[in-house]
């Protein structure tokens, strides 16, 4: 019998080797890199979340703070104002059978409001480093936690990011953060790791992460990768506008799923759902 500590998504356990699970990106901010302002009003964000659910999203990942390169922190009360009504209404509509809700935040105050409103996953770009109250909150509420790697901060991360061995260094960091999380009382079965495509990495680094994505599975927990519409796709393909990077995103999603990555975080749910499911079938054939 599976441990009750295992994180379940739409009735399926989120464990190593499961999936693919598709996370739909829902930025309720005026300044996100790809769709800033499109869902700044709660009513529009709720409609978008419902649409993502209909398109096959397993999780709706809701953020009230842009973490694009060069961005500045957003106060907790403003993040809560943006995210809480959207989370509460989607949680009410989805109930126990619909997608889970993740809150993309690095602040315990925001996470508390989100969990109270119905979120069951905390997605922290700092891997529980920024706010010392976040790990105890996650442990006490029993939510899932995504630990992401980032070199620097959103304001500084693209100022000449440097690694000797990008995959090895990220793996070491994530291994250390897994230990920190479990030491804080968060069960291993509720952890997911994210190598942080685009967060303190060059295009070369991002491509290397995707080429070696399967190596992150050695950490013993599910892996999430979020390549959607990122700058490296635009640089490789010569497409400056993020909204036009769908085909490149689909290629990156295919690479992730074929490598065994359990979760992908994307803007274009319907198209990525089809690619993820077909690649999973190819990978498991025979």
pLDDT along the chain (286 residues), means of 10: 73 95 94 61 93 98 86 90 97 94 97 98 97 98 97 79 94 98 98 96 97 97 97 97 97 98 98 98 92
Residue 78 lies in a domain: yes
Cα-to-chain-centroid distance, residue 218? 19
Of 262, 171, 154, the closest CA to residue 208 belongs to 171
Q: Is 4 a domain residue?
A: no
13, part of any domain: no
* Residue 10 covered by a domain: no
Catalytic site residue 12? no
The catalytic residue among 68, 171, 265, 273 is 265
Answer yes or no: is 41 within a domain: yes
Residue 71 lies in a domain: yes
Q: Spot the catalytic one: 230, 231, 245, 273.
A: 230
Residue 81's CATH number: 3.20.20.20
Predicted local distance difference test score (pLDDT) of residue 214: 96
Instruction: Verify whether residue 201 is a known catalytic residue.
Output: no
Cα separations in angstroms, 129 against 88, 181, 208: 27, 10, 25
Q: Is 61 helix (H, G, I), strand (E, B) or coil?
A: strand
The CA distance from 196 to 177, in Å, is: 14
pLDDT of residue 31: 60
235 lies in which domain range? 19-284
In a domain, 9, yes or no: no
Res 75: pLDDT: 93
Residue 275 resides in a domain: yes
How many structural domains does the chain have?
Answer: 1
- What would the two tokens of residue 181 be? 């999380």
Q: How many residues does the chain have?
A: 286
- Give the DSSP letter string of 123-155: EETTTT-S-TTHHHHHHHHT-EEEEE--SS-TT
């Amino acid at each position: 019998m599976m441990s009750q500590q295992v994180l379940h998504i739409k009735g399926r356990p989120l464990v190593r080797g499961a999936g693919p699970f598709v996370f739909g990106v829902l930025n309720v901010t005026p300044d996100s890199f790809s769709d800033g302002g499109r869902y700044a009003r709660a009513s529009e964000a709720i409609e978008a979340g419902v649409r993502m659910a209909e398109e096959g999203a397993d999780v709706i990942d809701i953020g009230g703070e842009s973490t694009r390169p060069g961005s500045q922190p957003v106060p907790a009360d403003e993040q809560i104002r943006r995210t809480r009504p959207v989370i509460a209404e989607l949680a009410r509509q989805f109930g126990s059978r619909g997608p889970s809700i993740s809150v993309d935040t690095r602040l315990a105050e925001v996470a508390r409001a989100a969990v109270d409103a119905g979120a069951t996953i905390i997605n922290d770009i700092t891997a529980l480093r920024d706010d010392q109250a976040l790990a105890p909150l996650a442990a006490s509420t029993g939510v899932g936690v995504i630990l992401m790697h980032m070199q620097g901060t959103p304001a500084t991360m693209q100022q000449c990011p440097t690694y000797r061995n990008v995959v090895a260094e990220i793996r070491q960091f994530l291994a250390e953060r897994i230990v920190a999380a479990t030491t804080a009382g968060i069960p291993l079965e509720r952890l997911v790791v994210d190598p942080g495509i685009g967060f303190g990495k060059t295009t070369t680094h991002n491509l290397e992460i995707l080429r070696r994505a399967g190596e992150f599975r050695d950490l013993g927990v599910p892996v999430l990768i979020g390549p959607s519409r990122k700058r490296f796709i635009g640089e490789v393909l010569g497409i400056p506008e993020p909204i036009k990077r769908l085909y490149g995103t689909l290629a990156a999603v295919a690479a992730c799923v074929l490598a065994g990555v359990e979760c992908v975080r994307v803007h274009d749910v319907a198209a990525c759902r089809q690619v993820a499911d077909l690649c999973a079938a190819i990978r498991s054939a025979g």
